[in-house]
Amino acid sequence: MEKKDIVIIGYPKSGNTWATRLVAELVGCPVAGFWDSEHQEIAVEGTDRESDFRCFKSHHQLSELNEIKATADKMIYIIRDPRDICVSGAHYFNHVSLIPSKSRNIAIRAVNKLHWEVLGKREMIQEMVQALLVGNERIHHWCRVSWKAHVTPFLNREDVLVINYATLRNSPMEQSKRILEFLDVSKPESEIERAIDTHDFEKSQKRFAASGDRAKKQFLRKGGSGEWRHVLTEDQQLWFENEIGELLGKLGFNLS
């Protein structure tokens, strides 16, 4: 029997990895990988789960998904405040080094860490601001388009469930039920609670640490909301407001 494919989509650092794992846990299916790609995907887990479904993570634009021959049975779009994406992305794509080196030399690593804290972080924040507002392929291939250009086409699609990342974090039971209803999957509340508990951020970090999976532990940094208020400069905050303030307000994000 052919599997039904659930694709969880979002701009990079929108919480896609965590949301993909949660959806797969709720349904009881594996996270099979990244949609339409053979590359090794960090979200993969539960490959031994028996299910009619399988989940995939994606950063594709809607136009790219339409061009791919393989069609997803269900699409869920994760939307996150782009200013929080900016902070998260700056930490994740922190490849600004004073001394480019793959060496494990402690002195070089210490110098690069100091450079990151003093100058690198500021540089990466600015690069991420540019990515989110106009696109910036220097950050990553998937960041070559702006957040607005990525998000907007998905918003009015009846066949796409749009989930607010912060709301999913703050009201996981309510949003998990929305997800299951959209997928036409019935689960008792006890199983939903277990899935939510399994993917609690702190518990997930401890689980990955205990298993020695440093990459997965580091991938889950904080996952919070509102950190941008203390990180972005006034000029950067104003740039967001001027460029996409109307859309932010429409989507329920506070402007200040």
CATH code for the domain of 129: 3.40.50.300
- Domain assignment present for 47: yes
In a domain, 231, yes or no: yes
In a domain, 255, yes or no: no
**CA 23 – CA 47 distance, rounded (Å):** 14
* Chain segment 144-202, per-residue pLDDT in tens: 999 999 999 999 899 999 999 999 999 999 999 999 999 999 999 999 999 999 988 66
User: Is 79 in contact with 8 (CB distance < 8 Å)?
Assistant: no
Instruction: Report which of residues 108 and 197 the model is more confident about.
Output: 197
pLDDT at 14 over 80: yes
Q: Convert the pLDDT of each residue in 27-43 to its tens digit.
A: 999 998 898 877 666 76
How would you label 5-37 residue by residue, b for 16+ Cβ within 10 Å and e otherwise? bbbbbbbbbbbbbbbbbbbbbbbbbbbbbbbbe
Specify if 79 maps to a domain: yes
Residue 18 pLDDT exceeds 70: yes
- Structural domain count, the chain: 1
Is 177 a domain residue? yes
CA-wise closest residue to 96 among 124, 56, 59: 124
In this predicted structure, what is the pLDDT of residue 156? 87
Residue 256 lies in a domain: no
pLDDT at 242: 97
Q: Which domain holds residue 71?
A: 4-250
